[in-house]
Amino acid sequence: MTSQTAAPSTLIQLLEESGVKVHLYDMGRRVNKIARKQFLRFEHAKLSWPAPLMRQAWFGLLMQSDDTQQIQIWFLRLPLDEQAKLVQPSRDYFLQRLLEAWRFNQQQSDASRLQDALKDNPCTFKPREDRLAVFHARVSADLNRDPSRFYAHAIDYFEGKPGWDQWSFVGYQGIADIAARHTQHEECIASALPHLPAEPLIALCHCLENEKVPAGIVIPLEQRLQQQLQTLQPDIPQTAALLRALSNSSTISMQHSAFESVLQHPTIASDIEVLSAISARAWELLQQPEFARLFLQALANERVGQQGFDQLLQDLLFIPAIHDPLMKALTQCEQNSATAKRFEQFKKSSGLT
């Protein structure tokens, strides 16, 4: 890029003009790869961010240098408007800071100058360690790179070699690597699931939530969930984790049945951790009227309280595909029901009435 070149109007254009190949990943509700064309439409405010989290777009940028094969990774968050489209002045301000760093550090390489511009930048964030592990596992699988050094030991554990009680020696990164390569290890994962203690089961579930889990893995996951539904004192963290693992399942009928069973359970349905797991990871199901009704009914339970109802509902209504189906379910609920009363309070506090 030279001083005579017109200033880039998008983040993708700026990065590609610096000589890197850009890979984009959603880092919000799930860790998913984003198509370049889709992200460009988002940058031009022609496309809403499909799954906003806390009214922001959270994403990772992996940049490969063609000449050195060096990799840089950025994690950015950008604010969204009421339609979940990019607030372009915020992105433009970010671009301006990058360009200023570019011009100021003329003696450095393009990649170094861009990296310096991220220092103390309000658009950057650091993912939690578990999300970072999932990201690295996903990237290494997508780029056909070797998994982490924890991978081999994790395979041994899921094959039952050291004993199921030896989970404390298994690195989380190794579990993430297996989940990202679940198509290669479907039989191994399925065989291990009935035996896993709570801790490695929860870790595996939190990694699988980002994957299109096939039927071979869904079946033992659903069996573990049914065990929780049938026990007198269900393990809530384990139940919530199992729901997260099933949330992106490729087996739609089994997924629907599992979630409806949870929402019809007399105690589990009204637990805020379970409802938060559904809201954060299985939001697509709320496009179905009956599922939306059951969810809202559980959310209106007195155990959740008005604050819990307001927080989850506000977050969900900001998702473009969920707003209209959820509003329809809310307006169709019985007038004196708990859901209707909670919604009236929500409207007052949020200024909708």
pLDDT given for residue 311 in this prediction: 96
Give the pLDDT confidence of 191-202 residue by residue, as tens digits: 999 999 999 999
User: Does residue 148 contact residue 177 with C-beta atoms inside 8 Å?
Assistant: yes
Q: With H, G, I as helix, E, B as strand and everything else as coil, classify residue 169.
A: helix
Q: Is the model's pLDDT at 3 over the cut of 50?
A: no
Q: Is the model's pLDDT at 140 over the cut of 70?
A: yes
Structure tokens at 233: 């004192």
pTM over 0.85: yes
For strand 20-26 and strand 71-79, is the pairing parallel, antiparallel, or unpaired? Answer: unpaired
C-alpha span between 344 and 109 (Å, rounded): 57
Of the chain, the percentage scoring pLDDT greater than 90 comes to 80
Average pLDDT score over residue span 320-325:
96
Give me the helices (H) in the chain, please. 11-17, 36-43, 88-104, 110-116, 129-142, 151-158, 172-180, 186-192, 198-208, 215-230, 236-246, 252-263, 272-281, 289-299, 305-317, 320-332, 338-350
Give the pLDDT confidence of 212-235 residue by residue, as tens digits: 999 999 999 999 999 999 999 999
Q: Is the model's pLDDT at 107 over the cut of 60?
A: no
Instruction: Report DSSP state, residue 265.
Output: S
Residue 96: pLDDT band with limits 50, 70, 90: confident
Of the candidates 91, 82, 108, which has an alpha carbon nearest to the alpha carbon of residue 13?
A: 91
User: Does residue 241 contact residue 205 with C-beta atoms inside 8 Å?
Assistant: yes
Average pLDDT score over residue span 255-265:
95
160: enclosing H helix or E strand: none
Residue 26: pLDDT band with limits 50, 70, 90: very high
Q: Is the model's pLDDT at 55 over the cut of 60?
A: yes
Structure tokens at 63: 């940049």
Q: 329-342 in b/e burial notation, b at 16+ Cβ within 10 A?
A: bbeebeeeebbbeb
What interhelical angle do 198-208 and 172-180 show, nearest 10?
40
pLDDT given for residue 46 in this prediction: 95
pLDDT given for residue 2 in this prediction: 46
Q: Is the model's pLDDT at 82 over the cut of 60?
A: yes
Strand-pairing partners, residue 71, are 64
Q: Is the model's pLDDT at 108 over the cut of 60?
A: no
Amino acid, single-letter form, for residue 214 = P
Q: 71-92 in b/e burial notation, b at 16+ Cβ within 10 A?
A: bbebbbbbebeeebbbbbebbe
For strand 71-79 and strand 32-34, is the pairing parallel, antiparallel, or unpaired? Answer: unpaired
Average pLDDT score over residue span 55-60:
96
**CA dihedral defined by 339, 345, 346, 348, rounded to 10 degrees?**
150
Give the pLDDT confidence of 176-193 residue by residue, as tens digits: 999 999 999 999 999 999
C-alpha span between 31 and 128 (Å, rounded): 12
Structure tokens at 9: 């109007």
Q: Could you tell me which residues come within 8 angstroms of residue 160 by beta carbon, excluding any fewer than 6 positions away? A: 191, 192, 195
C-alpha span between 38 and 52 (Å, rounded): 15
CA 207, distance to chain mean position in Å, is 10
Structure tokens at 10: 């998008």
Q: With H, G, I as helix, E, B as strand and everything else as coil, classify residue 165.
A: helix
pLDDT given for residue 115 in this prediction: 63
Give the pLDDT confidence of 272-312 residue by residue, as tens digits: 999 999 999 999 999 999 999 999 999 999 999 999 999 99
Q: With H, G, I as helix, E, B as strand and everything else as coil, classify residue 190.
A: helix
pLDDT given for residue 105 in this prediction: 58
